[in-house]
Amino acid sequence: MPLTLFEHPLSPYARKVKIALYEKGIAFDRVHIEPLRLKSDDTHYEAFSAAGPRLEVPCLVDGDFRCFDSTIIVDYLDERWPERPLLHGAPEARARARMVEEICDTSFDAINWGLMELRFFRRASGEAAERMAAAAGEQLGRMWDRLERELDDRDWMSGNAFGRADASLIVHVTASALFGFAPLDRHLRLRAWSARCLEVPSVQRDAADLAVYMGGDGPRGMRRGPIDRQYRDHRLEWMIKTGGVDVVLAGMKDGTIHFAAWP
């Protein structure tokens, strides 16, 4: 029986897990979830809430086993199917890859989340939006500098082959580029790494999934009516320290900013 992955095509966490599944050649069924629009009487609510008590994607179901959190899911996949590992090399290389993954799941995600709030959902406008976007650009510049150093003379972030750190990072690098903040001319290693990643079949399959969603009614549906968005702690931290406290307070007041359902 194939695994079931509860996911959303825009979630970088779900995309990391999908790339890992594609890379390892594991069969799975995708179930598209809109957590903030999911009602307790919807078809997938019971299975999704049992797998992920915080009602966040991604969640994985493998028979009677349920798992949430993208990093824990990828750990599980590597231990359950060790034949094609997603971490490679010596302990130092593996630790370095885990640190890159952690940067992606916290700091990098927060910046891109903020840019999406500004550029796609129009949470702020005028001078405030321009100021916050400029701050995001400066933060990404420092991020590129750090990642350029991390690569050093290596081809991959995950050791001596493509792996979980690369899967985590490439979805954020491509998203940042869409917002107008691609790696700069001085980041030659990072730009070459990005080009290599885009040639990896598992990355291409995930990109195709996203293209199907973006070409359909999904993005238009997200813009209809009040825009509900679920914040995680690092996203809230970014908004507060980058000048978006009024954005958060306004969203909480009108009920369009929410936090995890549990505990």
CA distance 244 to 236: 9
* Buried b or exposed e, range 84-103, using 16+ CB within 10 angstroms: ebbbbbeeebbebbbebbeb
Distance from C-alpha of 205 to C-alpha of 101, rounded to nearest angstrom = 20
pLDDT in tens, 115-164: 999 998 888 999 999 999 999 999 999 999 999 999 998 999 998 899 99
Yes or no: say if 9 and 32 are a contact pair by the CB < 8 Å rule: yes
Buried b (16+ CB within 10 A) or exposed e, 228-257: ebbbbebbbebbeebebeebbeebeeeebb
Provide the pLDDT for residue 262.
65
Integer-rounded Cα radius of gyration of the chain: 18
Question: CATH 3.40.30.10: does it fit domain 3-80?
Answer: yes
| Concatenated DSSP letters of 74-89 | HHHHHHHSTTS-SS-S
Evaluate the omega torsion of the peptide bond into residue 263 and state whether it is cis, within 30 degrees of 0.
Answer: yes
Segment among 131-145, 176-190, 225-239 with least mean pLDDT: 225-239
The residue extents of the domains of the chain are: 3-80, 91-200, 226-259
| The predicted structure's pLDDT at residue 180 | 95
Q: What is the pTM of this model?
A: 0.94
For residue 62, give the 3-state DSSP assignment.
strand
Percentage of the chain lying above the pLDDT 90 cut:
76
Does residue 178 sit in helix, strand or coil?
Answer: helix
Strands, E assignment, the chain: 3-7, 28-32, 59-62, 65-68, 229-231, 257-259
Tokens of 76: 């599980």
As a CATH number, domain 91-200 is 1.20.1050.10
